[in-house]
Amino acid sequence: MTIPAIPRWHFGMMNDQDRNKPLRDAIVATVRPDDLVLDIGTGGGLTALWAARCGAYVVSCEANPAVADLARRIVAANMLSHRITIVEGMSTDLRIGPAGLPRPADVLTAEVFDCALIGEGALPALADARARLLAPDARLIPAAGTLWAQVVDSASLHELNHVHTVDGFDLSAFNAASTPGYFLQHVDGHRHSPLTDPFELLRFDFAGEPVPVSGTARHQVPTIHRGMAHAAVLWFSLDLGHGYELANPPGRARHWHQGVYTFPVPIPTIPGGSLCVEVEYEGTALRLRPAQSETAPTLPTPAGEKAATRAGGRQDDGAPRGRDR
């Protein structure tokens, strides 16, 4: 039997014990018997199964019909069909009523985070759930998320997305095809030296104010070494509550990669200097504008660059974001 269109990263994710343990422990610490749990993104069903094992009733929605079908089989095989209902479709289409959630949920579980936090559509999903599907005092797993960045000197990472002269030939016209957003990479496989300390690029309080699905921020970041700022390495940390955290920084071999955002024009740095890093995000799309602080010029962008779209979890480079994490 061939099952179409299920990204292979599901396997690595389900077997990633460094991911599973804090998620499971946070669910066990949070969910009470007879809670109604809304689980956004069923996948293989793990988050729903953990919540059901705590005695909760779970409505779990899954956008991918083939995944939803497998999840139903898994739930049945584990004899938890009386506690878990899988609803096929996007959480944003879920309604409160007989075919959806019987009432606003007491607990939200949502593990819909790509390596740079927002690329799997977590922000619109969580904003919508907060507005429509949760009780006012609902407990959220995760309760908050931070997108971290660190500017690095790395010709190796830059060369994954830009080209200049090769063997005496000028190939730079090809840079019109550079990925304008971030792309996935295990950065430990590339020589890179940090030019800044890690800094909080964006922080979201999922349980507090309405979750903003778009916004901008500007950071003045001290530079600590002399070098060329070729790229920013991106990763997230999630506050799962009760002291549990999930994160994918460089140096940890988890199924998640890091995000790499290359700068079209590398910027020289010195110790004691600073970079101005502007970030703009909308839904699943992220744009960085780095500049030397004194001048703060807007960097030239590759021809044809435009705001990223969200359809199907893709960024504007056309690469399927669901292909890997």
Q: What is the CA radius of gyration of the chain?
A: 21
Q: 69-78: list long-range contacts, CB under 8 Å, 24+ apart.
A: 70/3, 70/6, 70/44, 71/42, 71/43, 71/44, 71/45, 74/44, 74/45, 74/49, 75/45, 75/48, 75/49, 78/49
CB of 121 to ligand SAM, least distance (A): 5
Give min distance, CB of 131 to ligand SAM, in A.
14
Cβ proximity to ligand SAM: between 83 and 162 the closer is 83
Q: Which is nearer to ligand SAM, 44 or 198 (CB)?
A: 44
Q: Distance (Å, rounded) from C-alpha 37 to C-alpha 57?
A: 6
Smallest gap from Cβ 71 to ligand SAM, in A, equals: 8
**Cβ at position 64, least distance to ligand SAM in Å:** 4
Least Cβ distance, residue 297 to ligand SAM (angstroms)? 37
- Nearest distance in Å: CB 317, ligand SAM: 20
Looking at beta carbons only, is 15 or 193 nearer to ligand SAM?
Answer: 15
Q: Decide whether 44 or 302 has the Cβ nearer to ligand SAM.
A: 44
Q: Which is nearer to ligand SAM, 42 or 150 (CB)?
A: 42
| Beta carbon nearer to ligand SAM, 57 or 263 | 57
> The tokens of 298 are what?
């807007």
Q: What is the DSSP letter of 83?
A: T
Task: Report the interface residues with ligand SAM, using CB under 6 A.
Answer: 13-14, 40-44, 46-47, 61-64, 67, 90-91, 111-112, 120-121, 125
- The CB-of-157 to ligand SAM minimum distance in angstroms stands at 25
Question: Residue 57 corresponds to which tokens in the numbers above?
Answer: 């009733």
- Looking at beta carbons only, is 125 or 286 nearer to ligand SAM? 125
State whether residue 33 is helix, strand or coil. Answer: coil
Tell me the CA distances in angstroms from 61 to 34, 89, 112, 130, 182, one per residue in order. Answer: 19, 6, 12, 15, 28
- Strands in 36-40's sheet, in edge-to-edge order, are 84-88, 57-62, 36-40, 105-110, 134-141
Say how far residue 296 (Cα) sits from the centre of its chain: 28
For the bound state, the minimum distance from the C-beta of residue 117 to ligand SAM, rounded and expressed in Å, comes to: 13
| Smaller CB separation from ligand SAM, 20 or 292 | 20
Locate the DSSP E strands across 10-118: 36-40, 57-62, 84-88, 105-110
Q: Which residues pair with 216 in a beta bridge?
A: 280
Task: Using alpha carbons, select from 32, 19, 51, 3 the residue that is nearest to residue 115.
Answer: 19
